[in-house]
Amino acid sequence: MSEDNAAADAERQWAAGNHAAALALYLEAWTTRDDDVAEQMLDLVKDWGDTDAALQALSAATAAGNSVAYEPWADVLIQLDRPEEAVSVLQEAQRNGRDVTLWIAGVLADEIEDRSRADEYYRRALAENNPRALNDYGVFLSEDGERLEEAAELLRRAVDQGDTLAAGNLGRVLLEQDKAAEAVEWLRQALEAGDRSVLVELGAAENDMGDAEWAGRHLREALEEDLSGARFAYAVHLADTGALREAVTYYEAALDQDEETNSYLNLALLHEDLEQPEQADRRYRDAIEHGDEEAFTHYAQFLADQDRAEELGTLVTRAAALELAPEHLAELRRLASKDRPGGV
């Protein structure tokens, strides 16, 4: 039976309430965890309502010699938030000839957050010449600020080998290294190759470099595609180009829709510029409540400018109790001392 026919028959069995039969047919249609069949199988298990029965069926399939079944079995376990069991299943799949080394690395990195074990498996995937290993390992290393050079080197190799995702990821690493001009080149190359996920980072980098026209264009495209971070990045762009009231709207949207708490401080500063002290005061307090250390010093200066120096002592006490960074605490104390009677 062809994969398409098996998937169609699985849907019919599912519609008839025969979940076990549908699962067996989906196993015949399974090719990769990234295709529609994998998603349909997960939906089937959820609809079944008996995860133990589903897992037992997948286990039985592997015991009967169906090595393909290891992968959907692991996929279901991950969806059930049982990643260690998923790793054990994938290791068994590996012993039965399945190419899952890179997947194991990803589960260890993303689900279990065991970077040491993940690193070992990424290296194994490289040794196996997995075509995706250079990019995936590079992204993994990019999450460690001390290994950015290694990450960039791996991603350059991935680009050279034709990995279509690597150019965008290389651009992101270069941004982390404060190499904006080179980063923009790679991000633009990624966009030209069809990687729309880079629009936010590209637009934000162009904005930082003063290329307002292209920044606005790319960030508006990111907004149209509802990419993560687009509202915040566009708000920054609007503020930088003088559209302060419109920037407020997008910062508010970033808060409401993306829970972007960095918006609080930026909103406070904008409200100050717009001479809206009550709104500024509220957003400074919000920023402090959400742990923004920079907000303390900005709020202290705001209080001083508003002739509310009597509130600075309380702010310093609160900052000290929170073990604020020494440089921020020193600046707070300087401002409090300056506005105290007899201060300098």
Tokens at 285, concatenated: 């307090």
The answer to whether the beta carbons of residues 138 and 173 sit under 8 Å apart is yes
Average pLDDT over residues 198-225: 98
User: Hey, how many other C-beta atoms are within 10 angstroms of the C-beta on 39?
Assistant: 12
Chosen CATH of 1-98 out of 1.10.3470, 1.10.150, 1.25.40, 1.20.120:
1.25.40
Residue 1: pLDDT band with limits 50, 70, 90: low
| DSSP string computed for 137-167 | HHHHHHTSGGGHHHHHHHHHHHHHTT-TTHH
**Exposed e or buried b per residue across 205-243, where buried means at least 16 C-beta atoms within 10 angstroms of its C-beta:** bbbbeeeeebbbebbebbbeeebebbbbbbbbbbbeeee
As a whole number, mean pLDDT of residues 178-204 equals 98
Q: What is the mean pLDDT of the chain?
A: 94
**Whether CATH 1.25.40 fits 196-260:** yes
Out of 66-70, 124-128, 241-245, least confident range: 66-70
Q: Check pLDDT > 60 for residue 247.
A: yes
Average pLDDT over residues 206-214: 98
With cut-offs at 50, 70 and 90, classify the pLDDT of residue 342: very low
Task: Return the H-helix or E-strand segment holding 48.
Answer: helix 36-48
Instruction: List, for residues 111-138, the tens digit of each pLDDT value.
Output: 999 999 999 999 999 999 999 999 999 9
Q: Please tell me the predicted confidence (pLDDT) of residue 162.
A: 94
| pLDDT classification of 15: cutoffs 50, 70, 90 | very high
Q: What is the pLDDT of residue 322?
A: 85
Pick the residue with more confidence: 326 or 106? 106
Q: Mean pLDDT throughout 213-235?
A: 98
Q: Please report, for the chain, the start and end positions of each structural domain, with discontinuous segments joined by +.
A: 1-98, 99-194, 196-260
Please check the confidence at residue 339 and state whether its pLDDT lies above 80.
Answer: no
Domain 99-194 of CATH type 1.25.40.10: yes
Query: Residue 200 in contact with residue 225, Cβ under 8 Å?
Result: no
Per-residue pLDDT reduced to its tens digit, 294-311: 999 999 999 999 999 889
Question: What angle separates helix 3-15 from helix 36-48, to the nearest 10 degrees?
Answer: 20
Two tokens, residue 20: 């076990």
- Contacting residues for 185 by C-beta, under 8 A, at least 6 apart: 171
| Confidence category of residue 323, pLDDT binned at 50, 70, 90 | confident
